[in-house]
Amino acid sequence: MPKNDSSLHKVCIAAIQRHTMLDFAHEFKYSSYYPEPSHFAEEVATELTITLHNEELCICSTIVDAQNWSVLTTQRIITCIAGGTQQGNIIEAVDRKLGHFKDKENATIFGHIILKSGLEIPFFIETRKASMIMIQGVLTVIQRSTCTDEQNEKVARIWNRKSI
């Protein structure tokens, strides 16, 4: 069943805001989330040469540099490692591996999304407090992609109300 990308975007942003220590956002070097999808298009998409499909909205990203980055949208996970790009349909994700995201020695680590086909798509996670941006984005989009738009809108309203 086709989803309204807007409802999936809203619930993912609500999850990120609820689970991330946003008081420390000024310390986040590589991770960003996009409550207003137009910010991604204006700030990042052209720099990374990403074209969003149809109704696709960007949820969050971890951008180390122009050759090493990951972007999570309502339809795909896109990762560039040393200039080589990989992507997968996030709706086909069946599992994920998050790695040791509280690592104190490395600024970033790799998580992996496992697709129905068995293919693993790696993605960057900034470690420590910033890790929840990409982790909550990935977990929520995988979990909520099977829900109706009405269910996603309701959960987003509840989470936004509780995080105030």
Amino acid at 69: W
Of the ranges 34-38, 79-83, 134-138, which one carries the lowest mean pLDDT score? Answer: 34-38
Spatial contact of 141 and 113, defined as CB atoms under 8 Å apart: no
Render the burial of 40-49: b for 16+ CB within 10 Å, e for the rest: beeebbeebe
Q: Residue 30 belongs to a domain with what CATH number?
A: 2.30.29
For residue 1, pLDDT beyond 70:
no
Quote the domain boundaries for residue 140: 5-162
DSSP state of 26: G
Separation between Cα atoms, residue 32 and residue 9, nearest integer Å? 14
Q: CB of 135 within 8 A of CB of 124? A: no
**Model confidence band, residue 164 (pLDDT cutoffs 50, 70, 90):** very low
DSSP calls for 45-64: IHHHT----TT--EEEEEEE
What's the total number of domains in the chain?
1
pLDDT digit string (tens) for 37-91? Answer: 777 766 676 678 788 888 889 999 999 998 999 999 999 999 999 989 999 998 8
